[in-house]
Copies of this chain bind each other. A is one copy, B any other.
Amino acid sequence: MTDVSGDVGIVTAALVVIGNEILSGRTQDVNLSHIAEQLESRGIRLAEARVVPDNQAAIIEAVNALRSRNTYVFTTGGIGPTHDDITAESVAKAFDLPLTRHEEAYARLVAHYDNLGVEINEARARMAMTPEGADLIDNPVSGAPGFRIGNVHVMAGVPKIMHAMLETILPTLKGGDILHSRTVFSSLPEGEIAAGLGNIQAEYPDVEIGSYPAQKRGEYRLSLVLRGSDPEMLDRAGEAAMVLIDAKGGQCEMAKGQEKL
């Protein structure tokens, strides 16, 4: 377990969401936002994500593209006992490693099904197959563990199980600079302040400024979200945005953090 204190720079992660049910619109993915927030609390930025079908070539391509350029990769989905669960074998191929039975995983599955009074069969035993050399990720909910190989963490797709797995993974990750945020709410529309806001962005290149208009209870409201690792710089950039809005005759206020929509 690594401590996150100290200036350790930017640590990035990528997510591969695996499953036809997401791409068909049947299932609304809710894992991305949870993972993003949990990682961010450790100073790790979710830099990119891909949604791929239950297809070996697609999984391999995504895992290999993302693991080479991010500190960490996470996958969700495809680790059950049925024919469409092909994540473990695909990740093994991505690493060019044999897929072998992980004896500790197998022992856990035997114990889990023994507890339920159910016999382990060939399909269930498939869930003990991992790329050779993988470390297990505990699954306190339904027995079948996830695994880590290299910088890739393979997790379940069911949110409740994924949450539990991520909780056990987080303390093992090397965190980066914690990202802080401020939100400046503006009564003025984007077009009124866009030029000035662009100047502020240019003046504060280390602050990421996002502009998000929305209708809230029929009323227009613009949220300017400022993110960065230096809280004082965020406050200064936020103040500059408030001065800008005020000068244009608008109402504004600044809050810490970013509201979740």
Contact = CB atoms under 8 A, between A and B. Distances in A.
A261 interface: yes
Nearest to A46: B23
A36 interface: yes
Contact of A33 (B25, B40, B58, B126): B25
A172 interface: no
Listed residue (A34, A48, A121) with the most chain B CB atoms within 10 angstroms of its CB: A48
Copies in the complex: 2
Interface stretch (A1-9, A78-86, A88-96): A78-86
Interface in A15-44: 19-30, 32-37, 40
A198 interface: yes
Interface residues of A, number: 65
Interface in A194-223: 194-195, 197-198, 201-202, 208-214
A194 to B, nearest CB: 3
Contacts of A37: 24-25
A122 B50 contact: no
B80 A190 contact: yes
Given A26-B225, A37-B25, A58 B48 contact: yes
A84 B40 CA distance: 21
Contacts of A28: 30, 33, 261
